[in-house]
Amino acid sequence: MDVPAKSIIILDFGSQYTQLIARRIRELNVYSLIVRYNTSAEKIKLLDPSGIILSGGPASVYSENAPAIDPEIFNLNIPILGICYGLQLMVHVLGGKVDSSSNREFGHAELIINETSPLLHDLGDKQRVWMSHSDKVLSIPSEFESIAETENTRHAAIADNSKKIFGIQFHPEVAHTPCGMKLLHNFVFSVCGCAANWSMSSFIETTIPDMQSKIKNDKVILGLSGGVDSSVTALLLQKAIGDNLICVFVNNGLLRSGEPEFIEEVFSNRFLLNLHVENASDQFLQKLEGITEPESKRKIIGHEFIEVFNNVAERFKNVVYLAQGTTYPDVIESVSINDNPSAVIKSHHNVGGLPETMNLELIEPLRTLFKDEVREVGRQLGLPGELNWRQPFPGPGLAVRIIGAVDKVGLDVLRKADKIVHDEMVRAEFYYRVWQSFAVLLPVRSVGVMGDERTYENAIALRIVESSDGMTADWARLPHELLSKISNRIINEVHGINRVCYDISSKPPGTIEWE
């Protein structure tokens, strides 16, 4: 899809909030996209945005590797809003002075609004805002005026009204700044003159004919996993090209209880998709026999998936395209400043990619969308809530939730326990409120008593976490009655388990999955 006219471009200087800024702009029904901080003015001009936002970032403008901006961007005659580091950089480049400081201001501050400006229009005299910075602006470039201050800084917001260039020290994108959306609204509509025309119904309306004219009468193959992204991709493409979309669901034998049947029921029977279910359970289990090392398990599963998928694809003639449920966060090139480690750790999760040797051209209809937007598209296309709002499930499936070697007996035990966790979480209305909730089968055996008998059986760990993106997480503080219900049911109903433990590790240092 082409970039819609009237978009906002965000230059990413490495802030943890950059994607949040982009999402906030889209919540205002305006398209936004993120580009690297060093994108040239020339390139930005070609993209023809209505406004530019300079994100925050962890660097100091004086540090050796400080991310710089092409100064020509300030001469493009396009409105600009600098946030935090974006403000400091703007001041630094345009002739003001930034005070380097090791004292961090973090938390709420009271913003006193001194001057009228389209940016702060209708915000009153005072607002609570969220600060997170060390350096601060000491003096501003001559064409600018200070329009708001806090106790800690005289230049909490600055403006060059004639050139429509603004800077703010606080973060409007976070929920802790209640007036943040109003400020962004002012920038996007009053200053930049954008129209509110980005919506998921307009996305669907334009994507379907786009796909039709690109694909024509060719065939497209898609690996349907039952996750949100591939499910929505399937429904969207089916609307565009009908049965020319061939969906392949690989049952690797590592799926949750009832999953293959559920997928077939929804996509084959309800949506009448051209769906091919490939049962390769035995093949996967054979290859995994005796394998205990987590990364080896992942490699084997990834490799087998490609084998199976390739074999199925070869059965179809005239397949030209491979569709994938790639979304915007997969596409954004993460800016790593100060060696931010989170960007590196995440990379191993982008597995399941198919090899280039398939010689198929890629189709990625969701590549401009954030997850919440994908779900909205899913909702509009009628994807059942159980699929649209389901928790993430790892590609290697239950294999990384059985610690040690994977076999049918272990899988059977884990499936039963996992189903109890799922059902009780749904019943107690906690399933959709946490990030993930699942059981892990531990290879340890411990002693217990059941009735009059001594038992010596395995343990299940419950992993139930809250998170906003899976990068950091904390264990969920669930009601004890719910934990007790889950534990009792597992011990009573799942043969082979006599003990249930609750994992109270946060991430970091623990990961969400145990392997």
The residue ranges that bind ligand XMP (CB under 6 A) are 298, 349, 351, 392, 394-396, 436, 470, 507, 511-513
Q: Which pair of tokens denotes residue 222?
A: 């898609």
> Are the CB atoms for 393 and 431 separated by under 8 Å?
no
Select 23 or 390, whichever has its Cβ closest to ligand XMP: 390
Q: Which pair of tokens denotes residue 270?
A: 């309800």
- Which DSSP category does 352 fall into? -
CB 132 to ligand XMP: min, Å: 25
173 in active site: yes
Which one from 133, 149, 155, 173 is the annotated catalytic residue?
A: 173
Select 503 or 513, whichever has its Cβ closest to ligand XMP: 513
How many C-beta neighbours within 10 Å does residue 257 have?
A: 18
Question: Residue 42 — left, alpha, or beta (φ > 0 → left; ψ -120 to 50 → alpha)?
Answer: alpha
Between strands 219-223 and 245-251, the pairing is: parallel
Alpha helices in 179-293 (DSSP H): 180-185, 200-215, 228-241, 259-263, 281-288
Residue with tokens 């702009």: 25
Select 272 or 504, whichever has its Cβ closest to ligand XMP: 504
Select 172 or 325, whichever has its Cβ closest to ligand XMP: 325
Q: How many CA atoms, within 13 angstroms, populate the side-chain half-sphere of residue 297? A: 25
Phi and psi torsions of 398, nearest 5°: -65, -10
CB 513 to ligand XMP: min, Å: 3
Cβ-proximal residues to 472 (8 Å cutoff; 6+ apart), any chain:
506, 507, 508
Which one from 133, 155, 171, 185 is the annotated catalytic residue?
A: 171
Select 167 or 394, whichever has its Cβ closest to ligand XMP: 394
CB 512 to ligand XMP: min, Å: 3
Select 380 or 511, whichever has its Cβ closest to ligand XMP: 511
171 in active site: yes
For residue 41, the surrounding DSSP H or E stretch is helix 41-47
CB 401 to ligand XMP: min, Å: 9
CB 220 to ligand XMP: min, Å: 22
How many C-beta neighbours within 10 Å does residue 485 have?
A: 15
Among 385, 459, 386, residue whose Cα is nearest residue 422: 386
For residue 339, give the amino acid letter.
D
- End-to-end CA separation in angstroms for the chain: 38
84 in active site: yes
CB 459 to ligand XMP: min, Å: 20
The catalytic residue positions are: 84, 171, 173
